[in-house]
């Protein structure tokens, strides 16, 4: 590891407490052949929630046969994921158990948090990614994870744009701007010469944190919780500055403006935007700048259109999700299927990059667990049974992959609970009330 | 961290009770008189009359500046700087102002503030001459410590809406010193100190918590500085100016008289228009227009410029009735006056205007389009991408204008209203009224749909963009209905019925107070709100008088009504 003198000077300025700092993963942190950490412990798994709005049609989504390996083949909807079949677990037949009080809201709240939604876009419990963050991500540059989104078009009455919640009234809204994420990751990559001005930021953040701590002492408990989250944000910035000052070269993330100059405006649904975020998430996971992320393709009940899929500028939710196209129901059904296949092809952009990125003894897809799901089952009837749920990746050998497992209407909460347990969460159960489960799905484990 | 929210149980209770059509929006969620009854104290066996326990109400919470408050405040301090995205507001109870008092910022949101304020302060200080206009003292050298401290103190007082204490001033002056040592540039040093001042929670949050006042029987009272902040954000949607802070320093905002003097001055200030516009933007959800999608294959006229025109028209209507020609605010509900440029004139079926800029215009006599519910903005916003929605439009009228509660649909309801049943048989078009008929006949749906649909169906002559149509796909539209016993034949008559509705006035008072307080009104504030309502009425329903009535009322200076106590949560916790 070559450390530049200026970096050393800077580290001296900041206090030089390198051992306590979160670091991008360095070559020196791995063993001789790069298959494990230097102390011999296996690489930590990564986790990602991949969410898309407006559901799926079970007739199009669910593979015809159940089983493992050659016994099953991906459905038409999942054809874009066929080349990732060895890592793919299709979980069909699961049913959202919480009552459907809010269309497109009760269900996403249930599959993300295991509990009913609250009025006004809120949830009762933390989402699965935030339960995993303290387990596998506390020592990274983004302890609460990275949260990105493709479409920023709203869905009426749904959970706003959010799929990640640290708790009630504590969302982690997605970032729609890949350039902003690139800039942030680039600074953390160790590629750039650290700016001596970093120490000024640290001084300022120290002052702001002192203000916040003094104020905190005067507040009631709910305000304390809110200010604690603000302090978490200040801590995260401080940790990132330390990481910049100490990082070795982690490679260079892909610049969206160079690779995808025609990707469209922030918030637009385009393949270029999917690719840009896929590159950046791959970099962040590979470098262990974070081990937890969420990716919103489109929010619950999203009203955006899918022009690249040949579906025009009409709203996907209306014309196809509810089959209200003036062209009729058959056209609506076909267009809906096309849109879901397009959605899966954007997911494939991420999977391809994960698979092609070496990580430990295998690739990133071997070491990740992706939970892909939606806000509704069959959308035109707002169904909450036979819910679209995928688990992708092998989570460091913990998941078997290449399986279609069908349930006879069991609780959707079992899927996130399986991932929580598999990735080290100590919680004996997941969810609340009708959504509460304490059993996982052994069939998908290795 | 995870905590159960009692509102969950409350919500389910409301739902199971069916659609409630009384006044909605109480801090305790109660919708009926008995729910607001206070349990009597003591055993009741004594000879003296029972003394009711004082109602316990929620303590005030800090409120993160909304995006609008943040933007206006930063630009008041730094001039017209560019601001990169900060974390989005959360709409709760119909207002960002309420979400700002409840929702926590994410860690990424803290980083977004740092980034936005770095760029904004750098931009403002890029030109020394410009910077000199923003600070009280321009240091010539890094050794000019007194000047740097003066500059931070003056900037900080404005930004934090109170003077910095000695520790705080030392803290930020220390940043200037360190950066000065490193760079040798006094202005760069000062810029960094102010970048810090703006990242402090004392800037980013409205810290208006009050302290118990012995002179007021222990009631928690806002300080004069806190009152300056409350007045400025309520009336201007931005920071206090120096005159208001000077009044606070002289403790002139401890009395209604002192507040009235400032409030009168503030109403005459151009920033009052910004303040009222922001209330309207939140109340009528103007912000949602930007992201409102329409099927542009069917409605190619749905352009960004049309949306901007709709927004501008709504603000012009408000400006007219509140400031230009102050009049009865409720006249907005059934007025025949509109404002149009050519794009909007075409949509309203009015002649083109010359030049193509906003002009006042009058709708023809006998036109079905009248008032707020006839505005393109309200009609388009409360519609679906390719069709109208009687339910959404009715919900807007019921909830936003009349404060009725309309819960979401019951579980597993079929919300499809398509003509094509997918059977492959011939498609038979039906009017929206016919399609919605089953909802009003089904007991599980009727409670709510009987509230919303008759109101929304009255607007069926206006398509999803708000353009008049004589028929719906050739079918005759029946726009008649009834609002709480008052029959109407079309949208114009509904507009009149709305203006004359007995709840219209009290609902507006309640909404404005919710926005002002950042929370739903307490039951214990019923008398206060009633008094404000009377004041509003005797002042000819003028909105500026309503605003004055709220901010100058005694209760506005306290964190809780007389005869109530704050919850015990305050100041506790680890």
Write the ipTM. Answer: 0.90
* Mean pLDDT confidence for B385-411: 86
Instruction: Give yes or no for residue A402 having a pLDDT over 80.
Output: yes
Nearest to B137, CA basis, from B194, B195, B196, B199: B194
Considering only CB atoms, which chain A residues are within 8 Å of B109? Answer: 173, 233
Cβ distance of B386 and A170 shorter than 8 Å: no
Banded pLDDT at A127 (limits 50, 70, 90): very high
The answer to whether B553 and B256 are in contact (CB under 8 A) is yes
B412 reaches A (C-beta below 8 A) = yes
What CA–CA distance (Å, rounded) separates B265 from B244?
A: 10
What pLDDT digit, counting tens, does each position of B93-106 carry?
999 999 999 999 99
Lowest mean pLDDT among A236-250, A265-279, B549-563: A236-250
The answer to whether A135 and A45 are in contact (CB under 8 A) is no
Select from A99, A169, A324 the Cβ nearest to the Cβ of B411: A99
Axis-axis angle for helices B145-160, B166-183 (nearest 10): 130
Instruction: Give yes or no for residue B3 having a pLDDT over 50.
Output: no
Query: How distant is the Cα of A325 from the closest Cα of chain B, in angstroms?
Result: 8
Lowest mean pLDDT among A234-248, A361-375, B71-85, B252-266: A234-248
What CA–CA distance (Å, rounded) separates B107 from B259?
A: 38
A116 reaches B (C-beta below 8 A) = yes
What CA–CA distance (Å, rounded) separates B85 from B83?
A: 7
pLDDT, chain A, mean: 89
Cβ distance of A212 and B201 shorter than 8 Å: yes
* Mean pLDDT confidence for B207-224: 95
A147 reaches B (C-beta below 8 A) = yes
Cβ distance of B411 and A100 shorter than 8 Å: yes
Interface with A, mutate which of B64, B98, B107 (most A CBs under 10 A): B107
pLDDT of A5: 31
A215 reaches B (C-beta below 8 A) = yes
B170 reaches A (C-beta below 8 A) = no
For residue B65, report the phi and psi dihedrals to the nearest 5 degrees.
-55, 135
Domains contained in chain A, CATH given? 1-27+191-246 (no CATH), 42-156+170-183+254-444 (3.40.720)
B533 reaches A (C-beta below 8 A) = no
Select from A225, A313, A318 the Cβ nearest to the Cβ of B104: A225
Instruction: Give yes or no for residue A11 having a pLDDT over 60.
Output: no
Lowest mean pLDDT among A301-315, B177-191, B457-471: A301-315
Cβ distance of B408 and A171 shorter than 8 Å: no
Instruction: Give yes or no for residue B141 having a pLDDT over 50.
Output: yes
How many residue pairs from chains A and B have C-beta atoms closer than 8 A? 237
Instruction: Give yes or no for residue B306 having a pLDDT over 50.
Output: yes
What CA–CA distance (Å, rounded) separates A331 from B13?
A: 41
* Mean pLDDT confidence for B273-292: 93
Interface with B, mutate which of A13, A152, A211 (most B CBs under 10 A): A211
Lowest mean pLDDT among A29-38, A78-87, A245-254: A29-38
Lowest mean pLDDT among A152-161, B142-151, B545-554: A152-161
More confident residue, A278 or A249: A278
Name the residue of chain B whose CA is nearest to A303's CA. Answer: B293
Lowest mean pLDDT among A291-305, B49-63, B69-83: B49-63
Select from A116, A201, A313 the Cβ nearest to the Cβ of B8: A116
More confident residue, A319 or A433: A433
Query: How distant is the Cα of A328 from the closest Cα of chain B, in angstroms?
Result: 7
What CA–CA distance (Å, rounded) separates A405 from A17?
A: 49
B331 reaches A (C-beta below 8 A) = no
Q: Is the previous residue joined to B333 through a cis bond, with omega within 30 degrees of 0?
A: no
Lowest mean pLDDT among A93-107, A196-210, B153-167: A93-107
pLDDT of A22: 43
A406 reaches B (C-beta below 8 A) = no
pLDDT of A16: 37
Query: How distant is the Cα of B18 from the closest Cα of chain A, in angstroms?
Result: 13
Query: How distant is the Cα of B98 from the closest Cα of chain A, in angstroms?
Result: 11
Lowest mean pLDDT among A237-251, B43-57, B398-412: B43-57
Say how many C-beta atoms besides its own lie within 10 A of residue A291's C-beta.
28
pLDDT of B433: 81
Name the residue of chain A whose CA is nearest to B99's CA. Answer: A169
The percentage of chain B sitting over the pLDDT mark of 70, rounded to a whole number, equals 86
Nearest-10 Cα torsion for A318, A322, A323, A324: -50
Select from B8, B294, B416 the Cβ nearest to the Cβ of A380: B416
pLDDT of A62: 98
pLDDT of B452: 81
Instruction: Give yes or no for residue A128 having a pLDDT over 80.
Output: yes
What CA–CA distance (Å, rounded) separates A295 from A279?
A: 13
| Cα–Cα distance list, B467 to A439, B375, B396, B443, B455 (Å) | 55, 10, 18, 33, 18
What pLDDT digit, counting tens, does each position of A192-216 carry?
877 878 889 999 999 999 999 999 9
B568 reaches A (C-beta below 8 A) = no
Instruction: Give yes or no for residue A229 having a pLDDT over 80.
Output: yes
pLDDT of B32: 37
Say how many C-beta atoms besides its own lie within 10 A of residue B471's C-beta.
11
More confident residue, B425 or A267: A267
The answer to whether B507 and B23 are in contact (CB under 8 A) is yes
Q: Where are the domains of chain B?
A: 63-206, 290-408+430-499
What pLDDT digit, counting tens, does each position of B338-376 carry?
999 999 999 999 999 999 999 999 999 999 999 999 999
Query: How distant is the Cα of B297 from the closest Cα of chain A, in angstroms?
Result: 7
- Tell me the residues of chain A between 149 and 168 that have a Cβ less than 8 Å away from chain B: 152-154, 157, 160-161, 166-168
pLDDT of B400: 96
Residue A84 is given by DSSP the state: G
A135 reaches B (C-beta below 8 A) = no
Banded pLDDT at A249 (limits 50, 70, 90): low
Interface with B, mutate which of A103, A134, A168 (most B CBs under 10 A): A168
Cβ distance of A171 and B200 shorter than 8 Å: no
pLDDT of B417: 59
Nearest to A298, CA basis, from A55, A70, A85: A55
pLDDT of B64: 98
B190 reaches A (C-beta below 8 A) = no
Cβ distance of B422 and A329 shorter than 8 Å: yes
Cβ distance of A118 and B387 shorter than 8 Å: no
Select from B106, B171, B409 the Cβ nearest to the Cβ of A172: B106
Select from B85, B174, B297 the Cβ nearest to the Cβ of A312: B297
Query: How distant is the Cα of B314 from the closest Cα of chain A, in angstroms?
Result: 22
Cβ distance of A229 and B415 shorter than 8 Å: no
B177 reaches A (C-beta below 8 A) = no
What CA–CA distance (Å, rounded) separates B566 from B569?
A: 8
What CA–CA distance (Å, rounded) separates A344 from A271?
A: 11
* Mean pLDDT confidence for A227-244: 92
A169 reaches B (C-beta below 8 A) = yes
pLDDT of B6: 33
pLDDT of B563: 87
Q: List alpha helices for A217-328, DSSP H.
A: 221-246, 256-259, 271-286
pLDDT of B526: 94
pLDDT of B14: 32
The answer to whether B397 and B484 are in contact (CB under 8 A) is no
pLDDT of B375: 98
B56 reaches A (C-beta below 8 A) = no
Select from A157, A168, A234 the Cβ nearest to the Cβ of B110: A234
pLDDT of B295: 82
Query: How distant is the Cα of B336 from the closest Cα of chain A, in angstroms?
Result: 31
Nearest-10 Cα torsion for B338, B472, B395, B374: 10
More confident residue, B429 or B523: B523
A427 reaches B (C-beta below 8 A) = no
pLDDT of A243: 80
Query: How distant is the Cα of A401 from the closest Cα of chain B, in angstroms?
Result: 32
Cβ distance of B111 and A237 shorter than 8 Å: yes
């Amino acid at each position: 590891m070559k450390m530049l003198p200026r970096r050393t000077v800077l580290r001296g300025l900041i206090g030089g407490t390198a051992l306590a700092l979160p670091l991008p993963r360095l070559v020196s942190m791995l063993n001789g052949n790069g298959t494990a950490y230097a102390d011999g412990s296996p690489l930590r798994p990564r986790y990602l929630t991949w969410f898309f709005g407006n559901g799926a049609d079970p007739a199009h989504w669910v593979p015809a046969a159940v089983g493992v390996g050659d016994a099953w083949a991906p459905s038409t909807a999942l054809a874009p994921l066929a080349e990732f079949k060895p890592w793919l677990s299709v979980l069909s037949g699961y049913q959202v158990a919480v009552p459907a009080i809010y269309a497109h809201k009760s269900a996403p709240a249930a599959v993300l948090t295991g509990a009913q939604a609250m009025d006004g876009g809120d949830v009762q419990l933390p989402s699965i990614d935030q339960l995993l963050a303290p387990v596998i991500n506390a020592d990274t540059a983004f302890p609460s994870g990275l949260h990105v989104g493709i479409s920023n078009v709203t869905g009426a009455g749904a959970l706003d744009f959010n799929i990640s919640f640290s708790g009630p009234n504590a969302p982690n809204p997605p970032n729609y701007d890949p350039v902003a994420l690139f800039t942030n990751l680039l600074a953390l990559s160790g590629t750039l010469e650290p700016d001596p001005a970093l120490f000024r930021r640290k001084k300022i953040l120290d002052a702001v944190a002192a203000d916040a701590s003094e104020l905190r002492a005067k507040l009631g408990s709910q305000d304390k919780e809110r200010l604690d989250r603000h302090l978490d944000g200040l801590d995260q910035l401080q940790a990132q500055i330390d990481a910049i000052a100490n990082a070795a070269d982690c490679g260079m993330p892909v610049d969206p403006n160079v690779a995808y100059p025609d990707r469209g405006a922030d918030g637009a649904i385009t393949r270029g935007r999917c690719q840009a975020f896929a590159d950046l998430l791959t970099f962040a996971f590979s470098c262990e700048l974070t081990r937890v992320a969420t990716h919103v393709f489109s929010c619950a009940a999203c009203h955006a259109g899918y022009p690249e899929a040949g579906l025009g500028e009409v709203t996907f939710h209306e014309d196809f999700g509810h089959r209200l196209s003036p062209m009729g129901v058959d056209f609506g059904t076909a267009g809906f299927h096309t849109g879901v296949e397009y959605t899966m092809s954007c997911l494939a952009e991420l999977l391809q990059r994960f698979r092609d990125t070496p990580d430990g003894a295998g690739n990133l897809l071997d070491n990740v667990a992706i939970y892909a799901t939606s806000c509704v089952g069959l959308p035109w009837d707002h169904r909450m049974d036979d819910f679209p749920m995928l688990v992708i990746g092998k989570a460091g050998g913990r998941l078997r992959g290449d399986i279609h497992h069908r349930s006879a209407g069991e609780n959707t909460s079992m899927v996130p609970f399986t991932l929580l347990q598999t990735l080290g969460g100590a919680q004996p159960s997941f969810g609340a009330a009708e959504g509460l489960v304490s059993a996982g799905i052994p069939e998908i484990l290795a | 961290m995870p905590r159960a929210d009692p509102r969950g149980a409350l919500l389910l209770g409301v739902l199971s009770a069916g659609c409630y059509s009384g006044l909605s929006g109480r801090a305790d969620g109660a919708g009926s008189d008995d729910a607001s009854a206070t349990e009597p104290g003591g055993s009741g066996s004594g000879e003296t009359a029972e003394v009711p326990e004082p109602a316990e109400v929620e303590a005030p919470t800090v409120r993160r500046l909304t995006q609008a408050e943040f933007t206006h405040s930063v630009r008041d301090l730094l001039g017209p700087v560019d601001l990169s995205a900060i974390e989005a507001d959360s709409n709760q109870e119909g207002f960002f102002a309420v979400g700002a008092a409840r929702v926590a910022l994410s860690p990424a949101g803290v980083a977004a503030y740092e980034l936005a304020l770095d760029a904004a302060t750098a931009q403002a200080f890029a030109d020394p001459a410009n910077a000199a206009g923003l600070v009280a003292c321009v240091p010539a050298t890094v050794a000019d410590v007194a000047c740097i401290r003066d500059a931070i103190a003056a900037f900080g007082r404005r930004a934090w809406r109170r003077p910095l204490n000695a520790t705080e001033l030392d803290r930020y002056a220390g940043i200037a010193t360190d950066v000065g040592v490193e760079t040798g540039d006094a202005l760069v040093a000062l810029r960094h100190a102010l970048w810090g001042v703006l990242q402090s929670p004392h800037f980013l949050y409205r810290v208006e918590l009050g302290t118990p006042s012995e002179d007021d029987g222990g009631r928690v009272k806002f300080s004069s500085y806190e009152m300056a902040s409350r007045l400025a954000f309520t009336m201007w949607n931005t920071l206090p100016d120096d005159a208001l802070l000077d009044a606070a320093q002289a403790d002139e905002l401890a009395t209604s008289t002192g507040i009235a003097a400032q409030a009168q001055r503030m109403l005459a200030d151009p920033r009052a228009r910004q303040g009222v516009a922001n209330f309207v933007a939140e109340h009528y959800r103007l912000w949602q227009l930007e992201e409102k999608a329409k099927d542009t294959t069917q409605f190619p006229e749905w352009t960004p410029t049309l949306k901007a025109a709709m927004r501008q028209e709504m603000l012009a209507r408000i400006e007219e009735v509140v400031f230009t020609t102050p009049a009865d605010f409720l006249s907005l509900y059934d007025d025949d006056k509109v404002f149009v440029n050519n794009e909007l004139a075409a949509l309203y079926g009015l002649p083109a205007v010359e030049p193509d800029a906003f002009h006042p215009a009058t709708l023809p006599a006998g036109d079905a389009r009248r008032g707020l519910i006839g505005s393109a903005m309200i009609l388009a916003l409360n519609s679906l991408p390719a069709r109208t929605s009687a339910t959404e439009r009715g919900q807007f009228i019921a909830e936003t204008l009349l404060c009725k509660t309309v819960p979401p649909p019951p579980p597993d309801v079929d919300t499809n209203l398509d003509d094509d049943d997918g059977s492959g048989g011939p498609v038979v078009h039906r009017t929206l009224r016919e399609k919605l008929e089953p909802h009003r006949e089904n007991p599980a749906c009727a409670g709510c749909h009987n509230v919303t649909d008759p109101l929304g169906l009255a607007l069926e002559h206006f398509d999803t963009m708000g353009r008049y149509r004589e028929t719906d796909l050739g079918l005759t539209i029946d726009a008649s209905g009834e609002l709480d016993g008052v029959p109407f034949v079309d949208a114009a008559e509904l507009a009149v019925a709305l203006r004359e509705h007995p709840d219209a006035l009290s609902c507006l008072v309640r909404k404005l107070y919710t926005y002002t307080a950042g929370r739903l009104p307490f039951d214990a504030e019923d008398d206060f709100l009633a008094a404000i309502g009377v004041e509003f009425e005797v002042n000819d329903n003028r909105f500026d008088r309503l605003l004055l009535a709220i901010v100058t009322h005694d209760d506005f200076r306290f964190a809780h009504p007389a005869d109530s106590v704050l919850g015990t949560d305050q100041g506790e916790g680890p």
